Amino acid sequence: MTTGAAYYWKCLYAIWSREVKRSVRESGQLVGAFSRPLLWVIIFGVGLTPYFRTGLRETSFVVPFTYMQYIFPAVVVLNILYPSIQSAVSLIYDRQFGFFREVFASPVPRTAVFFGKLLGGATVATLQGGLVLLLAPYVDVALPVKVLPAVLGVMFLVSLSFTAVGLLIASRLKSFEGFGVFSNALILPLYFLASSVFPLDPSLSVQQQQQVFPPWLVLLVRSNPLTYAIDLLRNFIIDYHEHALTLDVTVVVLLAVVACTLSFREFRR
């Protein structure tokens, strides 16, 4: 029986399972999943905390938090970004080594292949982001059980968005080298321009922020959708946010919808 909902879900599960197992078996991904948060939380967090709590007017509004606590939600997102986008490398691999020819010659629906890859990459990225949460007690961040569904929900939406972005990029590129250069050129600017390592004082207007920071920097930070994803996650993890929560939620949901839609359209071409 090669038609019907049951067959479709079996195909989707098979692709999803293949993506998850492949990622879990790659030792390099596991090393990165553990080393990135340790590097950021321990080295950056400990090293920059004294400067973060200087009492200057520009930073005094976050004095109740240590620098480690402030960047902790951003480190969660960083550990999501890399596996999300890098998971799309499998698309290039499958195209070059003939897996797609075999799959598309079979009755497997193309949409099941797309959503299997999308959900597989998002699952792996969410799990790697979850590894960072295990460090919460060491940075004095309390994570009550009641906030975990919201935290995991935001993490999954971010994972879904950037897995879709990775698939969109991989659909247009033909080489592993080109994908690696393009993905790295995307991840780091997005991350550093997302108010991840420095705050914009919410008590200041845009004009006032531009007096403290260069106007181009304020514009890029406020235009970056990842800014609002980190801000929303920061709200649930340390009970602090710089933007209106309705704006955060709207941007995160729209990012997921737009990224998945564009990626799906490109994949079907």
**pLDDT tens digits for range 5-31:** 888 888 888 888 888 887 777 656 666
| pTM of the complete model | 0.83
pLDDT at residue number 154: 95
Cα distances (angstroms) measured from residue 25 to each of 142, 180, 214: 32, 20, 45
- Cβ pair 137, 100 in contact under 8 A: no
Angle subtended by helix axes 245-268 and 148-172, to nearest 10: 30
pLDDT at residue number 254: 97
> What are the phi and psi torsion angles at 94 (to 5°)?
-65, -35
Cα distances (angstroms) measured from residue 12 to each of 18, 93, 113, 117: 10, 19, 6, 8
Angle subtended by helix axes 110-133 and 5-25, to nearest 10: 40
Alpha-carbon span 264 to 163, nearest angstrom: 11
Q: What is the DSSP string of the chain?
A: ---SHHHHHHHHHHHHHHHHHHHHH-HHHHHHHHHHHHIIIIIIHHHHHHHHTS--TTTGGGTTS-HHHHHHHHHHHHHHHHHHHHTTHHHHHHHHTTHHHHHHHTT--HHHHHHHHHHHHHHHHHHHHHHHHTTGGGGT----GGGHHHHHHHHHHHHHHHHHHHHHHHHH---HHHHHHHHHHHHHHHHHTTTSSS---TTS-HHHHHHHS-HHHHHHHHH-HHHHHHHHHHHHHHS--SS-HHHHHHHHHHHHHHHHHHHHHHHH-
> What are the phi and psi torsion angles at 140 (to 5°)?
60, 40
Q: pLDDT tens, position by position, for the chain (269 residues)?
A: 456 788 888 888 888 888 888 777 765 666 666 667 766 666 666 666 665 554 444 444 444 677 788 888 988 998 898 888 887 777 776 666 656 666 555 677 788 888 988 999 899 999 998 888 988 888 888 888 899 999 999 999 999 999 998 888 877 766 656 666 667 778 888 888 888 877 766 555 555 565 667 778 778 888 999 999 999 999 999 888 888 899 999 999 999 999 999 988 887 77
